Amino acid sequence: MTLVGCQSPRSTEQSIDLGNHYLEFGEWQKAADEFQPVTINSPGLWKGEYGYGVAMSQLGDLVTARRCLETANDHSPGNMEIIEALAEVMYRQGDTGQLFQLLRGAGASLGRTEPYLILGLYAIKLKDNDSAILAFQSAIEVDSGAVRPRTTEPYYQLAMLQFSLGNKAEATRRLRQAYGISAADPRVIQALQMQGVPLDASTALPPGI
């Protein structure tokens, strides 16, 4: 006699895969329902903690989201997906001090531009222009080109901020530095053209602070 309707419980890996599928399509409650048992049965497994944290963040439970994302960050340090999600929760909670500490720490430990760029953009949202400038400058400092190719992003973001503050000369200098890194960046080209800067052999400036 064949039993009908009996299914074996999903494995942890299957639950994580299905939960990630629901996250991809924005089905937050279904994702939470898949990830929650993982966090109970396999506490500290970063993929489960991260997935549940993201789902709960989208569902508005920031306390649970932060707890899970902090656990995920503890078990998978340096994971930018986790860091970005945790930073967003901290921002939504208004915990500016911990937000800045998280991103500065990640930037220093990883030696990468991304945490500093994210920090700069949050600082702009918080109308803390001094912190934004320092964050973008820190991104420039770690972007030495020794480990990976330099990026125009910190120069471009700093230029846009300086324009908004009325510092046209400094903004243009940053754009010319960005042009020296990539003469093909359409944002940089457009911004330079809007300032009437000729694009020729003399346009580019060396990178750095």
Q: For residues 119 and 88, state if they share a domain.
A: no
Q: Which domain holds residue 82?
A: 11-94
**pLDDT tens readout for residues 71-123:** 999 999 999 999 999 999 999 999 999 999 999 999 999 999 999 999 999 99
Q: For residues 131 and 84, state if they share a domain.
A: no
Residue 145: which pLDDT band, with cuts at 50, 70 and 90? confident
Q: Is residue 35 part of a domain?
A: yes
Nearest to 205 by CA among 172, 162, 161: 172
pTM score: 0.91
Angle between helices 46-58 and 62-75 in degrees, nearest 10: 160
3's CB contacts (< 8 A; 6+ apart) are: none
Q: pLDDT value at position 2?
A: 45
pLDDT beyond 50 at 142: yes
Q: For residues 40 and 76, state if they share a domain.
A: yes
Half-sphere exposure at residue 176, Cβ-oriented, CA atoms within 13 angstroms: 19
pLDDT beyond 80 at 138: yes
Last residue of a domain, which of 44, 77, 94? 94
Q: For residues 111 and 209, state if they share a domain.
A: yes
Q: pLDDT value at position 184?
A: 96
pLDDT beyond 50 at 4: no
Q: For residues 137 and 106, state if they share a domain.
A: yes
pLDDT beyond 80 at 160: yes
**Alpha-carbon span 176 to 104, nearest angstrom:** 27
110's CB contacts (< 8 A; 6+ apart) are: 78
Burial label for 184, CB within 10 Å (0-12, 13-18, 19+), is exposed
* Arithmetic mean of pLDDT over the chain: 95
CB 49 within 8 A of CB 71: yes
Mean predicted confidence (pLDDT) in 116-131: 98
CATH of the domain at 204: 1.25.40.10
Task: Name the domain count of the chain.
Answer: 2
What tokens appear for 35 in the block? 């990830």
Mean predicted confidence (pLDDT) in 186-203: 97
Q: What is the DSSP letter of 5?
A: S
Mean predicted confidence (pLDDT) in 141-170: 94
Q: For residues 101 and 147, state if they share a domain.
A: yes
Q: pLDDT value at position 105?
A: 98
Q: Is residue 6 part of a domain?
A: no
pLDDT beyond 90 at 42: yes
Residue type present at position 184: A
pLDDT beyond 80 at 7: no
**pLDDT tens readout for residues 18-37:** 999 999 999 999 999 999 99
Q: Is residue 4 part of a domain?
A: no
Q: Which residue has the higher pLDDT, 87 or 9?
A: 87
Q: Which helix (H) or strand (E) holds 29?
A: helix 28-41
Mean predicted confidence (pLDDT) in 177-195: 97
> By mean pLDDT, which of 6-10, 79-83, 188-192 is the weakest?
6-10
**Alpha-carbon span 52 to 46, nearest angstrom:** 10
Q: For residues 182 and 162, state if they share a domain.
A: yes
pLDDT beyond 80 at 147: no
